[in-house]
Structure 1
Amino acid sequence: MSGMDADVFAEVKDAVRRLVREVVVPREEEIDLDDRIPDELRSAAAEMGLFGYALPEEHGGLGVSMSEDVQLAFEFGYTTPAFRSLFGTNNGIAGQVIARFGSEEQKKAYLPRLAAGELIGSFALTEAEAGSDPAGLRTTARRDGDGWVITGGKRYITNAPIADLFVVFARSDPQEKGGRGISSFVVDATAPGVTVGPHDKKMGQSGAWTAEVFFDDVRVPADALIGEEGRGYAKALTVLSRGRLHIAALCVGMAQRVLDESVAYAATAKQGGAPIGRFQLVQAMIAETHAELLAARSMVLDVAARYDSGEDTSVGPSSAKLFCSEMVGRATDRAVQVHGGLGYLRTTPVERFYRDARLYRLYEGTSEVQKVIIGGALLRAAGMPKP
């Protein structure tokens, strides 16, 4: 993917950085306490084109490459994850399924409105018994006349309470097992039989809403099917891979923020009349985070370049997601330690990031699942037969 003109992209990145640091950062505590993104921040994001930065240019997006995507994610990651979450599903897992696999009619119908922020798209894959592995997927889609009837429930669905449309994954062939026989559909959130539960109370990432979604004999027309019947899970894997690399970059942004907070605090907070930064063990914590942050940033940029060239669109993103999500967990933990008792108080940014960071090791494939993907792929490449 070629991406944008370099000068234009530099302007976009600068504008995003200013928006994040000057407009969103001062309102983080309010977002955390109110558990919602203020409407004016949503409007500002839409005006800047953030609801469609990763969607194709011909359909109203900015059409960034993966290398550009991760650079924007470094900026988004610097503030509360809820801000990016608001437009993340449009650019990522929901929007990308339509952009990559949808018919021309579907692209024209949905992508311009997703890119403009007029519609919020939501990606409905996860279920109670089907998280990182689709084998337990219970939601079904059965043919009915010239359409389909979808029945089942989904869990932890980001943006579900504010979604206008769902990209739903359902088993369309009950004879098939595992990832086979799963199809994807566009389902209008207002369709009869669609119910969204109350939004979940989570440990962190307040303002980023997730909820259960129920599909009770929801009828959709034939043209709701995205791409080829029975190939839905392969589509999900393709877009999840891009999403994993994006998450890795968000982790880099958060690590940069907590490092900045730690350095600023250590340079000024005093114990015994001298700044705590004079203590070598405090310097050691700061140094460890800095070294891991540099490694993570370089890794993400390198993996993104190889994603764009087509050289590696699976194992690299999984490794980046694994390393960066574990890295930011260590970084936020050290940041709380540097702040001492203050780091445990709710009004301190590092306390909030400590809670926010924990989710990164779970969603879009847990750390354990990434290890299985990486290990399995490397061993299969060496000729080890599948079980």
Structure 2
Amino acid sequence: MAVDRTLPTSEAADLLELVREVASKELSGRVAADEENAAFPRDLFTLLGRSGLLGLPYPSEYGGGDQPYEVYLQVVEELATSWLAVGLGLSVHTLSCFPVAAYGTEEQRAALLPDMLGGELLGAYCLSEAHSGSDAAALSTRAQATDSGYRIDGAKSWITHGGHADFYTLFARTGAPDSGSQGISCFHVPAATPGVSADAPEKKMGMSASPTAVMRFDGAEVGADARIGAEGQGFPIALAALDSGRLGIAACAVGVAQAALDAALAYAREREQFGRPIVEFQGLSFMLADMATGVEAARELYLAAARRRDAGRPFGRQAAMAKLFATDTAMRVTTDAVQVLGGYGYTRDFPVERLMREAKVLQIVEGTNQIQRLVIGRHLARGE
């Protein structure tokens, strides 16, 4: 089903048309086989970068696209509609570039961003640890100051692109062990740094083509210029990045839900029972109506939050709401899509079972939906 989009400029409309063309020609024909074989489509990220799609919300002076978040997120959604691993990969890469773009020195931006935004380098975001997921301030990875920079020791868990990324945006403790959120700093760590390694990829329920792995930093030494922002500023940087990253996950969720709705509608229009298409039966048409309403509402919620961000207004509460609602909607819509297809929906001959498995992770990544409710509640308690 074609999505009726309202875009701010004709340039943005042309951009979305380019994305649809890339998705149709390069993604749709590969997704089933690559997901089945757990094949990471690294070449597609190079293609996206060279097509100008890896740095859309960043300044053109560093190779970005100067696009508002309202447009960038619709690109993420379009890609996720065809292949979640690619849409989410773009979102994670954008998240990984954020600290350098927003908090780096002019020298760091000039040296790092062109390759990061141009497709030559792919990023990963290293915040979570085995014992500090939702409680990110409890991280224990250590960056010890040396004469020439820092020595990093520790392990990061659940890292998207782990073992395949070209750089890792890493958060490590530079303060005392009991310094909490005040003692965390942010670092740009190239993958080729000695002491950086990845465990075998996790065996996940879905998104098999997107590698997720534990990253280990065993005496990895980086220069002083690898630190992004001031020492001890890492936790505010991480939270600022995650506010924007949650909008990326919301857009991914809408893409997955849209794909499931499209598949369910196509099947319901063609499948006949009792002499007519099953879409004409009230019980099924009501289910499809609820699915379509949820997808539309989720899209408008993330776009409203994006417009607040573009206008320079606070958007943390709205980002949490968009992530919460969109990912819960994706889980519900994909589950209902399986039901619409009946027995066929439970087989791998149709995409909806894969979409249902993929939707689940979106309720977990970049802050579980329970954490989103906590974030929203705290904003409400402060009258925000």
Q: TM-score normalized by structure 1?
A: 0.93
**C-alpha separation in 2, matches of 1:41 and 1:238:** 28
Match of 1:267 in 2: 269
Match of 2:62 in 1: 59
| Letter paired with 1:29 | A
Match of 1:83 in 2: 86
Contact 1:328/1:357 (<8 A) preserved: yes
SS class of match (1:98): helix
**C-alpha separation in 2, matches of 1:255 and 1:124:** 28
SS class of match (2:29): helix
**C-alpha separation in 2, matches of 1:251 and 1:193:** 35
The Cα shift of 1:312 comes to 2.3
| Letter paired with 1:15 | L
Which residue, out of 13, 18, 27, partners 1:15? 18
Contact 2:40/2:211 (<8 A) preserved: no
Contact 1:80/1:205 (<8 A) preserved: no
**C-alpha separation in 2, matches of 1:352 and 1:214:** 30
Which residue, out of 323, 326, 334, partners 2:325? 323
**C-alpha separation in 2, matches of 1:153 and 1:41:** 28
Match of 1:211 in 2: 213
Match of 1:102 in 2: 104
1:49 equivalent to 2:47? Answer no
The Cα shift of 1:31 comes to 1.8
| Letter paired with 1:59 | Y
Identity among equivalent positions (%) equals 37
1:179-198 aligned within 5 A: 179-198=181-200
Contact 2:206/2:358 (<8 A) preserved: yes
Match of 1:304 in 2: 306
**C-alpha separation in 2, matches of 1:125 and 1:97:** 13
**C-alpha separation in 2, matches of 1:33 and 1:142:** 42
SS class of match (1:87): helix
Gaps of 5+ in 1: 383-387
Which residue, out of 329, 348, 372, partners 1:370? 372
Contact 2:137/2:235 (<8 A) preserved: no
The Cα shift of 1:5 comes to 8.1
The Cα shift of 1:157 comes to 0.5
Contact 1:134/1:178 (<8 A) preserved: no
| Letter paired with 2:17 | D
Match of 1:71 in 2: 74
1:254 equivalent to 2:253? Answer no
SS class of match (1:248): helix
The Cα shift of 1:47 comes to 2.6
**C-alpha separation in 2, matches of 1:237 and 1:166:** 17
**C-alpha separation in 2, matches of 1:68 and 1:293:** 18
Contact 2:46/2:120 (<8 A) preserved: no
| Letter paired with 1:161 | G
SS class of match (1:192): coil
SS class of match (1:160): coil
1:241–1:39 CA distance, 2 compared to 1 (3 A): closer
Contact 2:87/2:252 (<8 A) preserved: no
1:347 equivalent to 2:338? Answer no
Contact 2:141/2:172 (<8 A) preserved: yes
SS class of match (1:52): coil
Which residue, out of 165, 169, 172, partners 2:167? 165
SS class of match (2:192): coil
The Cα shift of 1:178 comes to 3.0
**C-alpha separation in 1, matches of 2:177 and 2:343:** 57
How large is the RMSD of aligned CA atoms in angstroms? 1.7
**C-alpha separation in 1, matches of 2:330 and 2:130:** 27
Which residue, out of 26, 31, 39, partners 2:29? 26
Which residue, out of 306, 312, 315, partners 1:313? 315
1:39–1:244 CA distance, 2 compared to 1 (3 A): closer
